Chain A
């Protein structure tokens, strides 16, 4: 068989499976992103404005999750939380059958938790880089606190956080490959199976490589455009003047 046959979309080829795998990878990353962003914002807010307990919890959260290998976090969520849920369910109703935590959900939860831990640091840094004088200018004309946040702080916060968040997004895209170990048929896992069956590692890994690389390149391009737009009116890429 030549390589085109291997990649064809029929029963003989792996093209359709690979494309589906790419779909799973993208769906996983795109579902994780909003969850991770919001959770990260929450952790950052607690770390900055919370009471003493909330602050130390937020700090513990982000240092712990950044300290663990992502793979371990995934196992803990998939196996540990799954087991915990099951024993909880059986305690509630011994007749109930075994409940399987979907690999997709476990993947989203684990990746979002990791994303939140890293992105909370990005939000925190961005917040600290804000120019307090501009906040005071808003206060001094009688703007409400929430309005100041919405029209003055948030746009500048997004601008300052964008490069860091962009980086994390690219990392997330690649970290999705970890879910292949919990039997979720993402791009990486499909490729692995294909290699196992066909014994053509070079071909399939090259295709997968190009797919990840292409998606990352596209994202880099979009991010660069967003950054250019956010930096409109600023002379340098530095902090708010």
Chain B
């Protein structure tokens, strides 16, 4: 088997005794665009956050670009230096775009985009700045590169956040409801950027409620229900002929 870009296997996670993820297995091959849908509270965010270890899974396997992480319950507390470095390495290959943007509020747009490449990838500042400007131009935010996040609209913030993620040149991009915090008229500008990324062959995993968008850009659709993958497959199949009653109900409520 070739090395998948990201692979999770038998992932379990509970909070305070309540099981939120109940054995999730999911593989993202290179250039896959996987959309995760599901009703609120089904564990979508938790799954995404387990992938880059913002949450530490209780058990399961996680493999990023061939590198496997040892996930045991006791590796959650005191970690060896080596293990911590491994986590950081894996995280640097997976860029995350958050629902609430999470731009660093005391830094300009340009500084936000430059920080990761400078401090994590340890690349030369001059190259980093040139690349950051290129990325900001791409998401249409170059003119605002000296502004601070607080002065931007939600759509602009999210485009900066995407540029910041791209600057890490990640193996896989993770999006957690990237348009859910936006006013309806700003959703389009962000989806347009994500669509372009999908078309250029970026590997992406995204949680979204934009069903039409998910249907158009995804290579694979995953339906999460109460911590389990209830159905997955190509978007057409899931949208046109869902096998799961729960999924059918969700789709009916969304259209």
Assess whether B105 is in contact with A131, with CB atoms less than 8 Å apart.
yes
Q: Tell me if B104 and A152 are in contact (CB < 8 A).
A: yes
Q: In chain B, residues 95-144, which have Cβ atoms closer than 8 Å to a Cβ of chain A?
A: 95-96, 98, 100-106, 108, 115-116, 119-120
Chain B, residues 212-243, CB within 8 Å of chain A (1/0): the string is 00000000000000000000000000000000
Are A136 and B54 in contact, CB atoms less than 8 angstroms apart? Answer: yes
B residues in contact with A136, CB < 8 Å: 54, 98, 102
Let me know if A159 and B100 touch, CB within 8 A: no
Q: Choose from A139, A235, A240 the contact partner of B91 (Cβ within 8 Å).
A: A139
The chain A residue sitting closest to B85, CB to CB, is A144
CB-CB contacts of A212-241 with B at 8 A, as 1s and 0s? 000000000000000000001111000011
* Contact A141 B120, beta carbon cutoff 8 Å: yes
Q: Which residues of A contact B183 (CB under 8 A)?
A: none
In contact, A134 and B105 (Cβ under 8 angstroms): yes
In the complex, the answer to whether A240 meets B105 with C-beta atoms within 8 Å is yes
- Asked if A137 meets B105 with Cβ closer than 8 Å, knowing A142-B120, A143-B116, the reply is no
Interface centre among A140, A143, A144, A156 (most CB of B within 10 A): A140
Given A133-B100, A137-B102, A233-B108: A142 touches B150 (CB 8 Å cut-off): no
Cβ–Cβ contact B92 & A141, under 8 A: yes
Interface contact A133-B102, CB-CB below 8 Å:
yes
Cβ of A167 under 8 Å from chain B: no
Number of interface residues of B (CB under 8 A): 33
Q: Which has the most chain A C-beta neighbours within 10 Å: B88, B103, B105, B116? A: B105
Contacts of A232 in B (CB 8 A): 148
Complex: how many Å from CA A159 to CA B106?
Answer: 9
- Given A142-B88, A142-B91, A235-B150, do A147 and B104 touch, yes or no (CB 8 Å)? no
Beyond A133-B98, A140-B54, A233-B150, is A147–B105 a contact (Cβ under 8 Å)?
no
- Residue from A142, A144, A232 whose CB has the most chain B CB atoms within 10 Å: A142
Chain B residues within 8 Å of A156, by CB = 105-106
**Bound form: Cα–Cα A7–B14 in Å:** 75
Please tell me if the beta carbons of A235 and B151 are within 8 angstroms of each other in the complex. yes
Are A234 and B115 in contact, CB atoms less than 8 angstroms apart?
A: no
The docked-state distance in angstroms from the alpha carbon of A159 to that of B104 is 13
- On whether A241 and B149 interact (CB within 8 A), knowing A151-B115, A234-B105, the answer reads yes
B119 touches A140 (CB 8 A): no
On B, residues with C-beta under 8 Å from A are 52, 54, 88-96, 98, 100-106, 108, 115-116, 119-120, 147-151, 161, 164-165, 168
**A141-B116, A143-B116 known, 12 other contacts, Cβ within 8 Å:** A131-B102, A134-B102, A134-B103, A136-B98, A141-B120, A141-B164, A142-B88, A142-B168, A144-B88, A152-B106, A155-B106, A233-B106
